[in-house]
Structures are given as structure tokens and as C-alpha cells.
Amino acid sequence: MRRARDGGFDGFVAARWSALLHLARLLTGGDRHRAEDLLQESLVKLWFVWAKVGEEAPEAYVRQVMARAAARSARRRWWGERPVEQVPEVALPGDVSAAVAERSRLETALAQLTPKQRAAVVLRYYQDLPDRQVAEVLGCPVGTARSHASRGVARLRQLLSDVIEPVG
């Protein structure tokens, strides 16, 4: 197991942490805590197989593990979170409210998709994977992956246009 660290596992995690966390957050519907758990669990699985996949495609492996785990966990009713007395405050540099609002709006819309649709849309359009790889990650035929992505995008358009249209 020492070879996993010597073979670049730590470097891979350090280099790709933020991008993988963002992917995990999109796959979990915007829940940062579930995203962190999902990423950590996926990296543990990668650590155990690093000798096999470390040289070839560690990111593809983690992506596949995360997409499948996110789809499984979406079926659970409770994830074990506990409420806290006070939420810590995080200071943001400058005025990023417009970017945060847009990101939040998209994450809210993504959270309303089915887990398979969400995973297909995120992998296809955020990760820019070809349909074949999306299908491999989801463990389904290419046509089914395309269908999930197409229906997911159509639903996102509907959800986002409902928010944009003025009321009255």
C-alpha cells in the first residue's frame, strides 16, 4: 500500500481535488457535504487499486465510481447528517453574488433531475465526455445514456426558463 503514495496518488489527489469536488457536488445536486463524502469514498476506492489504474486513467476511474455511487445514494432516505447550532461564516472576496446566484440556480435545477439524468448531463456537458464514455460510467447502453442526457437537458431548459420568465 505504500506504493500507492510513492506512485503519485498524493500528487493526483492534490492536483485534481477541486475539479473532482466540483463534479461530485454537481452529481449530488449541490450538497457540498454529500459531495465531499462521495469524493472521499471514491478516492479510498482508487487508493486500493492505484497500482492497476494509477498509470492509465485514475480520473476516469474516480469519475465512474462517483457517478455510480451518487446514483445509489440518491435512493437512500437519510445520509446521517446532524444539525449544528451555528453555521460557520465564510467570507467571499469581492462581490461574486451574481456568479453565486447563477451557480445556485443551476445547482437547484440539477438537483431536480433524476440521478441518472443528472449524472448523464454532468458527465456529458460539464466533464465533456463522449456518449460512449458516459454510457460506460453509467453502466448502460450508449442510446440510454444519450436519452438520459437529452431528457435531462430538456428538463433543465424547462426549469431554468420557468425561473427566468416574469410573473404577472
Determine, yes or no, domain membership for 123: yes
Does residue 116 lie in a domain region?
yes
| DSSP 8-state assignment for residue 125 | I
Domain limits for position 154 = 2-77+97-164
How many structural domains is the chain composed of?
Answer: 1
The pTM of the full predicted model, rounded to 2 decimals, is 0.56
pLDDT at residue 110 tops 60: yes
Asked if the structure places residue 148 within a domain, the reply is yes
Q: Quick check: is 82 in a domain?
A: no
In a domain, 92, yes or no: no
Residue 122 belongs to a domain with what CATH number? 1.20.140.160
User: Is 103 inside a domain boundary?
Assistant: yes
Q: How far apart are CA 164 and CA 151, in angstroms?
A: 20
Q: Over the stretch 125-151, which tens digit does the pLDDT of each residue have?
A: 988 899 999 999 899 999 999 999 999
- For 18, 81, 86, 92, the CA distances from 89, given in Å and listed in that order, are 20, 19, 9, 10
Residue 31 maps to a domain? yes
On whether residue 88 sits in a domain, the answer given is: no
**Exposed/middle/buried for 114, CB within 10 Å: 0-12, 13-18, 19+?**
middle
**How do residues 51-63 score in pLDDT, each as one tens digit?**
988 888 899 999 9
Q: Distance between CA 30 and CA 19 in Å, rounded?
A: 14
